């Protein structure tokens, strides 16, 4: 689809900033009468070169745009949209002290907006400017490609004003955003996270395809719409100047579309000529300058709402004095720090901005002031960086750093545990007799040992039953015919939570057998773990033969899936890392006391 646009690009890439394209009534681009072909364009590039006429020192009277003055809100608001803006400015105390900053550090808390983010400002501004220009009419449909926050702002405004709303966003965006959008009445379309912006499958490409198919629909286009930076030029920047009494020495903003840093940056350059504008861009994005900062093999990142693989039209990088790159780990660490130490319930991109601020503000002296924009709320990320489990899975948190009460056996070595001797069988015992023993003793598995006590392998009730049903063995066969031989015995290894590095063979299994006393369940410490095995798929952590008895595979049951038999592919695990069954999960299942794991080929260590 999008590959056809090169022929019409000149007619489709007009910048909405361009003087003469606007009637002066709004910020949304109006199509010149002579450019009828633009109406037929499949899409308009979100990275078209800007032809904005703004220059430092230019008079606001010469602006082609409508400028909305700041107004004081009435005591009783006519609707929730009137509560957008006028967000608080808060001193950052503990983080400032922790990183030895001499300057005053302030945070502009944009998550106090009704929709939970700074994007509420541009959503209402784009809609009202489109209404003023006669482009958006009652009953029309608003479509927007977005990382979620602009979508929430537009859906909020659409709910109040009565428009239909369709939001197109990448799959990596949180389910919390999806749930909020659905609650607001918006329709959601998800697109592949890794699709390039100019791909037909990208959120931009899909949005334009929907726009071409749906009558009376409009893409307000935050990437190109002049109302985006204008909202911040007219209101956000003015609020900052008022709150700081006109004294701002540094402004730090994490960049997404670039409308916030462009709009605020331009106004501060006009009113505070010495103010340094600092942009923060995630590793894997290409917004920063010089271009050398963007050189990396990484293209994906977990932090949401900032960074792109193209430079949006509305981003004026000439306004930015210096760029810093941020990574996911420091972004989420600082976001958690803002929550736990400053009580500011902000999102991951706020952590990115604060991480950049503590670096940039090192050059400021006592008596100077640094303002950081905190774009959105933690509400959107409850299942992501706010979750210890998610942080552990992504490698942003170490297990020893999780402030949870550890089980009594956490730091004990295996041989220090008071465990009864396990039930064992000789290799010459028949399968029929072995099943009788296991049934009598209440076990579903046992180690097979020779006369000298050497462990030969494992035998499980489930595997014997499935092999009997398949005709692979007879009841009179010796149990040696059906033992699992790939295992690694634990000797003096530490219990769960402690690292170890035995030499493992590909897809090997290690096990430690112990018996659960009938009078207590505290000695059960099964820890089931499954990890990716590359192209071969995934293997269950538990003997999949259990499924033949109607007993659940612990991992698949925990995920609400169905065990598929031997070497089942627990596809729901994806490649997100280990799936752990906590002690409580195990006790609910009453699983017999065994500990074993299937590891990826070539892995030399893990955590148990």
Single out the residue of 570, 364, 554 nearest to residue 462, CA to CA.
Answer: 554
**C-alpha distances in angstroms, 524 versus 151, 421, 455, 557, 559?**
48, 14, 22, 19, 21
**What angle in degrees, to the nearest 10, is found between the helix axes of 149-161 and 175-183?**
10
The helix (H) or strand (E) run that includes residue 586 is: helix 583-589
CB-based burial of residue 439 (10 Å sphere; 0-12 exposed, 13-18 middle, 19+ buried)?
Answer: exposed
Quote the strand ranges of 425-485, DSSP E.
Answer: 445-449, 455-460
Report the DSSP pairing between strands 579-580 and 529-530: antiparallel
* 3-class secondary structure, 156: helix
Q: How far apart are CA 65 and CA 28, in angstroms?
A: 10
The helix (H) or strand (E) run that includes residue 254 is: strand 250-254
CB 354 within 8 A of CB 334: yes
For tokens 């701002």, the residue is 248
Beta-carbon-side half-sphere exposure of residue 476 (alpha carbons within 13 Å): 0
* 3-class secondary structure, 346: strand
Q: How far apart are CA 222 and CA 207, in angstroms?
A: 12
Active site residues: 119
* 3-class secondary structure, 213: helix
In 10 A of CB 451, how many CB atoms? 8
CB 170 within 8 A of CB 137: no
For tokens 């449909």, the residue is 141
Single out the residue of 316, 263, 260, 329 nearest to residue 287, CA to CA.
Answer: 316
- Residue 256 CA to chain centroid, in angstroms? 15
Q: How far apart are CA 466 and CA 470, in angstroms?
A: 6
**C-alpha distances in angstroms, 41 versus 10, 174, 212, 435?**
11, 32, 9, 72
CB 59 within 8 A of CB 65: no
CB-based burial of residue 385 (10 Å sphere; 0-12 exposed, 13-18 middle, 19+ buried)?
Answer: buried
Single out the residue of 600, 404, 597, 599 nearest to residue 490, CA to CA.
Answer: 597
Helix runs in 307-447, H state only? 328-342, 348-360, 388-394, 431-441
For tokens 């007219």, the residue is 234
**C-alpha distances in angstroms, 20 versus 30, 31, 32?**
10, 11, 9
CB 236 within 8 A of CB 179: no
């Amino acid at each position: 689809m999008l590959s056809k646009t090169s022929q019409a690009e000149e007619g489709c890439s007009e910048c909405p900033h361009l003087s003469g394209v606007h009637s002066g009534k709004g910020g949304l681009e109006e199509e010149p009468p002579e450019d009828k072909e633009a109406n037929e364009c499949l899409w308009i590039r979100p990275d078209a070169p800007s032809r904005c006429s703004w220059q430092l020192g230019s008079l606001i009277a010469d602006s082609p745009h409508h400028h909305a003055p700041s107004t004081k809100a009435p005591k009783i608001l006519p609707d929730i949209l009137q509560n957008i803006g006028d967000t608080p400015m808060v001193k950052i105390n503990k983080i400032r002290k922790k990183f030895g900053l001499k300057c005053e550090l302030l945070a502009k808390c944009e998550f106090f907006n009704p929709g939970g983010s700074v994007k509420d400002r541009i959503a209402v501004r784009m809609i009202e400017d489109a209404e003023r220009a006669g482009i958006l009419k009652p009953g029309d449909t608003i479509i927007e490609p977005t990382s979620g926050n602009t979508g929430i702002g537009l859906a909020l405004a659409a709910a109040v004003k009565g428009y239909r709303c369709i939001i197109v966003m990448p799959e990596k965006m949180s389910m919390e955003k999806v749930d909020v959008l659905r609650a607001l009445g918006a329709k959601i379309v998800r697109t592949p996270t890794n699709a390039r912006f100019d791909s037909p499958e990208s959120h931009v490409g899909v949005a334009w395809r929907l726009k071409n198919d749906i009558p009376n629909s409009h893409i307000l286009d935050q990437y190109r719409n002049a109302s985006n930076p204008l909202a911040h030029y007219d209101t956000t920047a003015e609020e900052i100047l008022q709150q700081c009494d006109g004294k701002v020495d540094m402004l730090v903003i994490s960049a997404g579309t670039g409308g916030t840093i462009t709009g605020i940056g331009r106004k501060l350059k006009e009113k505070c000529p010495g103010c340094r504008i600092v942009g923060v861009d995630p590793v894997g994005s290409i917004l920063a300058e010089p271009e050398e900062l963007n050189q990396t093999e990484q293209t994906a990142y977990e932090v949401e709402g900032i960074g792109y693989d193209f430079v949006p039209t509305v981003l004026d990088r000439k306004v930015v004095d210096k760029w810093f790159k941020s990574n996911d780990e420091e972004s989420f660490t600082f976001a958690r720090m803002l929550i736990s130490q400053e009580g500011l319930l902000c999102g991951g991109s706020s952590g990115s901005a604060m991480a950049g601020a503590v670096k940039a503000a090192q050059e400021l002296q006592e008596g100077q002031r640094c303002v950081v924009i905190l774009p959105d709320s933690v509400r959107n990320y409850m299942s992501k960086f706010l979750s210890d489990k998610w942080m552990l899975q992504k490698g942003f948190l170490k297990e020893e750093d999780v402030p949870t009460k550890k089980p009594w056996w956490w730091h004990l070595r295996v041989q220090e545990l008071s465990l009864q001797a396990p039930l064992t069988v000789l290799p010459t015992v028949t399968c029929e007799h072995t099943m009788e023993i296991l049934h009598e003793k209440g076990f579903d598995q046992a180690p097979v040992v020779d006369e000298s006590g050497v462990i030969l392998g494992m035998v499980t009730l489930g595997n014997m039953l499935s092999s009997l049903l398949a005709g692979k063995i007879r009841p009179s066969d010796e149990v040696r015919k059906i033992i699992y031989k790939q295992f690694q015995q634990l000797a003096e290894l530490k219990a769960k939570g402690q690292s170890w590095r035995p030499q493992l063979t590909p897809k090997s299994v290690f096990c430690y057998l112990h018996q659960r006393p009938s009078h207590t369940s505290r000695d059960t410490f099964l820890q089931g773990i499954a990890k990716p095995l590359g192209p071969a798929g995934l293997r269950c952590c538990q003997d999949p033969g259990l499924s033949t008895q109607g007993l659940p595979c612990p991992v698949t049951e925990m995920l609400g899936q169905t065990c598929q038999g031997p070497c089942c592919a627990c596809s729901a695990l994806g490649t997100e890392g280990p799936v752990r069954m906590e002690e409580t999960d195990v006790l609910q299942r009453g699983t017999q006391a065994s500990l074993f794991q299937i590891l990826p080929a070539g892995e030399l260590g893990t955590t148990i």
